Amino acid sequence: MFRCPGVCGRRVLPFSITIRAGRPLHEQIVFAVTTAVVTGQLRPDDRLRSVRTLSRELKINPNTAMKVIATLVEHGLVDTPPGIGTTVAAWRPGGGAGRRAALAERPVVDGKRLGLDLSDALDAVRKEWR
């Protein structure tokens, strides 16, 4: 398991990533950042590290780091204002369709991988939601 180093000024990565075979690395990192935003570990206007630093600290290819940032921008989770860097966007529960899709994708894939049908998966979600 890789544990990100936490806070460095206002540039933060307060999440852990357990690299698992069979799932693209960039998706695993996007999921970790999404979870950090949804749970409040990352707050609006927090700055993420640069692509180069992210690449070096996570020991990933710079192209993969760029793909992570591009996906997070597409999902509306981060902004990249010129001259500022990458910052966490304002999070609104139930926000854009990209955010909802990002949150739903992993449990759907995991449920299908486990052989669950939709009704079993929904029952499991309802149980955990309570």
Q: With a threshold of 0.75, does the pTM exceed it?
A: no
pLDDT digits (tens, 9 = 90+) for 25-60: 888 898 888 888 877 888 898 988 888 988 888 888
DSSP string, 6-59: EEETTEEE--EE---TTS-HHHHHHHHHHHHHHTTSS-TTPBPPPHHHHHHHHT
Q: Which domains does the chain have, with CATH numbers?
A: 2-92 (1.10.10.10)
For residues 86 and 69, the answer to whether their CB atoms sit within 8 Å is yes
For residues 65 and 51, the answer to whether their CB atoms sit within 8 Å is yes
pLDDT digits (tens, 9 = 90+) for 89-121: 986 555 555 556 666 776 777 777 788 888 888
